[in-house]
Amino acid sequence: MPSDVSKPSEPKPEDAKPAEAAPVVATTTEAAPATAEATPVEPTPVEPTLAQPVATPPVAEAPAPVAAAMPEPEPAPIPPRQGSPLNDAALDQLFRSARTQYGWTGAAVSDDDLRGIFDLMKWGPTSANSSPARFLFIRTQSAKDRLRPALSSGNLQKTMLAPVTVIVAYDPKFYDYLPRLFPHTDAKPWFTSNPELAQETAFRNGTLQGAYFLMAARALGFGVGPMSGFDNAKVDAEFLSDRGWKSNFLVNIGHGDQNEEKPRGPRFWFDETCLIL
């Protein structure tokens, strides 16, 4: 280097602190203060300047791992499925061609058949989802013998021959199950404080569920014969008193013998029994 840079004589004020010039050289690309003849300092390749930041590793730049950890958005709610009319064959089976059964083919009705009818019936609506209906299935000969004394003479033979007879009953204390069946509000006091309302609700909705049972059985291909010709008190004492249930009506279930069907009775016309306001 030229001798005038390192000459110790004639110190200048700006040369009083020569140590401060070194950091400038190490962190910038500018040359240290010198005369026009000074040799410029070349930047060291391994020490990047402030104008050229160190490149970050590819892993840090990749957003994929962050995106993968994000929860998936909730799917939009599915709108209610709109119903469509059943075809004529289904309507005939449920209503138009269905008949009250008085005779039976003798084909068995299994436990699975009875469970299938119930599992279809149970979806029908009831007040506060109270579901007060109870069902007792009479199938064995010993159980039929216990039922026999309560039957009217007109219902005796067809009931004894039916594969299954159902005692459609209701539970007067259905409200004990409302915390489970109707959990979003405390509905039990509605009925415990009003015995008349409780009895009315139990009987009405138990009857409604009995009707659902009839239609569920028909929907699954069975014939049904509902009847009310029996002694409720005898049935309750023989079959239901230990549970506190009350009988409503009976239903014979099986595969109906069409040869035993009676002529269909007449029905009302719409205008005779209906009003539209």
What span, in angstroms and rounded, lies between the C-alpha atoms of 93 and 96?
7
Residue 73: band (very low, low, confident or very high) from pLDDT cuts 50, 70, 90: low
Report which listed range, 5-9, 56-60, 74-78, 122-126, is most confident.
122-126
What is the pLDDT, as a whole number, of residue 262?
Answer: 87
Instruction: Quickly state the pLDDT bin for 76 (edges 50, 70, 90).
Output: low
Taking the whole predicted model, whether its pTM rises above 0.85 is answered as no
- Say yes or no to pLDDT of 187 above 70: yes
Overall average pLDDT of the 197-220 stretch: 98
Q: Residue 50: its pLDDT value, please? A: 45
> Residue 70: which pLDDT band, with cuts at 50, 70 and 90?
low
Average pLDDT of the residues of the chain: 83
Output the CA–CA distances (angstroms, integers) from residue 124 to 80, 120, 262, in the order listed. 17, 8, 30
8 Å CB contact between 222 and 166: no
Give yes or no for residue 182 having a pLDDT over 90: yes
> Residue 106 — very low, low, confident or very high, per pLDDT cuts 50/70/90?
confident
Residue 26 pLDDT level (bands cut at 50, 70, 90): very low
Domain ranges in the chain are: 3-53, 94-261
Residue 276 has pLDDT above 70, yes or no: yes
Distance CA 251, CA 168 (A): 7
Percent of the chain with pLDDT over 70: 71
The reported pLDDT for the residue numbered 265 is: 92
pLDDT 10s digits, 136-171: 999 999 999 999 999 999 999 999 999 999 999 999
**For the chain, counts of helices (H) and of strands (E):** 13, 4
d(CA 181, CA 175): 9
2 pLDDT exceeds 90? no
Q: What is the pLDDT of residue 230?
A: 98
Report d(CA 114, CA 102) in Å as an integer.
19
Position 133 scores a pLDDT of 98
Q: What is the CATH number of domain 94-261?
A: 3.40.109.10
Q: What is the dihedral of CA 232, 234, 235, 236, to 10 degrees?
A: 80
* Identity of the residue numbered 3: S
- What confidence score (pLDDT) does residue 82 get? 73
Contacts of 207 (CB under 8 A, 6+ apart): 170, 248, 249
Q: Which residue has the tokens 């209701």?
A: 170
Please say if the pLDDT value at position 47 is more than 90. Answer: no
Res. 207 pLDDT band, cuts 50 70 90:
very high
214-264: pLDDT as tens digits: 999 999 999 999 999 999 999 999 999 999 999 999 999 999 998 888 899
Residue with tokens 């599915």: 78
Backbone angles phi, psi at 60, to 5 degrees: -70, -30
